[in-house]
Amino acid sequence: MIRDDELLRARIHEALDGVQRPAPGLLRRCVAAAEHSSRAPRLRTVAIAAALAAVAAAVVVLTLLQHSLSHGTPGPVQSPTPAPQQVLYTVDAGNDVVALDAQSMRVLWRRSAGGAAPAAVTATGLLKLSADERTLWVLPISDPRGGTALRAFDARTGTPGVTIALSGGAVYSTFAVDPRSGDIAAVGQDGTRILVSLVDPRRAQVLSTTATRQLPPRAPLGSDLALDAVFTADGSRLYYSYGFANADRSGVDWADVSGAQLQPCRAQAAGAACAPGVGVGLALAGTTVVASDTGNPAQLVTLGPDGAVRRRVATGLVGDAEGGVVVSRDGTTATVLGACPNGGGVVRVDLAGGTAQPVATPVSGAAAAPETPCGVRATLLADGGIAVSRLDTGFAGANSPGTVAVVDATGRILRQATLPAGVVDLAATP
């Protein structure tokens, strides 16, 4: 390849020499030929002009090419490829799925994922991109506890795809996508057990359903749900959080995945979580589990792969964080957002050192002001900002507007979008 380039340069330089120092008499012979032409005397002037123009054009073209070669440029300059558009996806309590331009917050497309939803919905992980980022998977809400089917949409156009019915008799409220295989794990309950269904999206079928925990007898405090789920990077383990209302069953569980088989963790107490008391917000930093607890004051808890607590960090937020936990791309920090009814606020936690740094101070004893960042579900954007669903109560309403806000590293709200219903979950392209 190098020899070919050198040969090409040598030939171009020879051509340049021939044009810039033409052979003696070249132009004179061109003119004489035109003057003595008996058949086309009227073309004499045209021929002279054409010859001179051709030589001049060759000089210009080859001189430019010589300049390109001498400066080491490979050829014509191409326009830079525009930066890819980042898309922010939302699903609201009305089962509408919306794709937004993450920078302008302009609506790109809007689709309905299901029929009428309950009046109030707990914000859980109902929206995920496929492993190849071409498909947006949604778990439409058909019951206050969740839904019974997965729906696919083309992530770019919003064109509806397949619908996959999950195991009958159960209601599912969160799911995760295996980054390795693309399989989906949906987590829900049938009233007495936590269930995990593994789904093959390519064949649009459920591979297996496993009861991973027998729940304690129902307490009167309120409903509990599977709140969030996430696979490890190699797809070998699924972590999921469950609870919210009753402390006796709240916490993080996990299951090792081998094909269509699950091996659930074993809790120390019957009906309890393997890592009790945490998991309102759930994320992974490498092999470290990062979760907010359900106590007051709020704490960010890190767990080892075995579920043992490594560290508890007081965030200073009022009440629990209700799911607004985001881990940085390098896994070194976690950002926790306070719930809007509890004053909001933002805290950044150094996961290695265990120190918490307030970024935006919560409003003491009152709901978050419009300029105070707060929210439930959150996702990291490519520019380092965090998109978050602002909910004025602990639930997303199907009949009241919802707000998605983008918060920068200083806690400042950069931009917002208002949607017809409360936003239940968010996802974004990398």
**pLDDT digits 0-9 by tens, 103-127:** 999 999 999 998 877 778 889 999 9
Higher pLDDT, 399 or 232: 232
| Averaged pLDDT, 228-244 | 94
Domain housing 50: 2-70
270 domain residue, yes or no: yes
Residue with tokens 């004179």: 28
Residue 404 forms part of a structural domain? no
For residues 375 and 337, is the Cβ–Cβ distance under 8 A?
yes
129/269 same-domain check: yes
The CATH number of the domain holding residue 162 is: 2.130.10.10
Q: How much is the pTM? A: 0.79
Q: Which of 27, 43, 70 is the last residue of a domain?
A: 70
Query: Which tokens hold the place of 96?
Result: 């509408």
Q: For residue range 132-189, what is the model confidence (pLDDT) as tens digits?
A: 999 999 999 998 889 999 999 999 999 999 999 998 789 999 999 999 999 999 999 9
322 confidence band (pLDDT: 50, 70, 90): low
Q: Is 172:214 a contact under the CB 8 Å cutoff?
A: no
Are residue 44 and residue 185 in the same domain, yes or no? no
Residue at 245 is within a domain: yes
Label each residue of 283-337 as H, E or C.
Answer: EEECCEEEEEECCCCCEEEEECCCCCEEEEEECCCCCCCCCCEEECCCCCEEEEE
Residue 13: exposed, middle, or buried by beta-carbon count in 10 A (0-12, 13-18, 19+)? middle
Question: In whole numbers, what is the pLDDT of the chain averaged over residues?
Answer: 82
**Is 314 a member of any domain?**
no
Q: Is 204 left (phi over 0), alpha (psi -120 to 50) or beta?
A: left
The amino acid at residue 13 is: H
Above 90 in pLDDT, residue 4?
no
Do residues 257 and 181 share a domain?
A: yes
Please tell me whether residues 45 and 187 are part of one structural domain.
no
Domain boundary among 49, 70, 91: 70
Is residue 374 domain-resident?
no
Pair (27, 168) in one structural domain: no
Overall average pLDDT of the 404-421 stretch: 95
Tracing tokens 């792969």 back to the chain, one arrives at 305
State what percent of residues in the chain have pLDDT above 90: 59
Which of the pair, 418 or 320, is modelled with greater confidence? 418
* Mean pLDDT (whole number) for 262-288: 91
Pick from 70, 90, 116: which residue ends a domain?
70
Does 141 share its domain with 243?
yes
Q: Which tokens go with 258?
A: 């081998």
CB 142 within 8 A of CB 94: no
Q: Contact at 8 Å (CB) between 176 and 150?
A: no
Is 134 inside a domain boundary? yes
Question: Domain check: are 158 and 15 in the same one?
Answer: no
Residue bearing the bigger pLDDT, 318 or 122: 122
CA-CA distance, 423 to 387, in Å (whole number)? 11
Which DSSP state fits 400? S
pLDDT of residue 117: 75
In the predicted model, what is the mean pLDDT of residues 318-330? 77
Residues 251 and 153 in one domain: yes
Could you please report the per-residue DSSP string of 177-239? E-TTT--EEEEEE-SSEEEEEEEETTTTEEEEEEEEEEPPSPPTT---EEEEEEE-TTSSEEE
Q: Are residue 202 and residue 65 in the same domain, yes or no?
A: no
Whether residue 369 is contained in a domain is answered as no
Say yes or no: 52 and 128 in one domain.
no
Q: Which residues of 402-418 are buried (b: 16+ CB within 10 A; e: fewer)?
A: bbbbbbbeebebbeebe
Residue 31 and residue 157 in one domain? no
Q: Is residue 257 part of a domain?
A: yes
Measured distance CA(205)–CA(140) in Å, rounded: 17
Q: How many separate domains does the chain show?
A: 2
Q: Judge if 62 and 182 occupy the same domain.
A: no
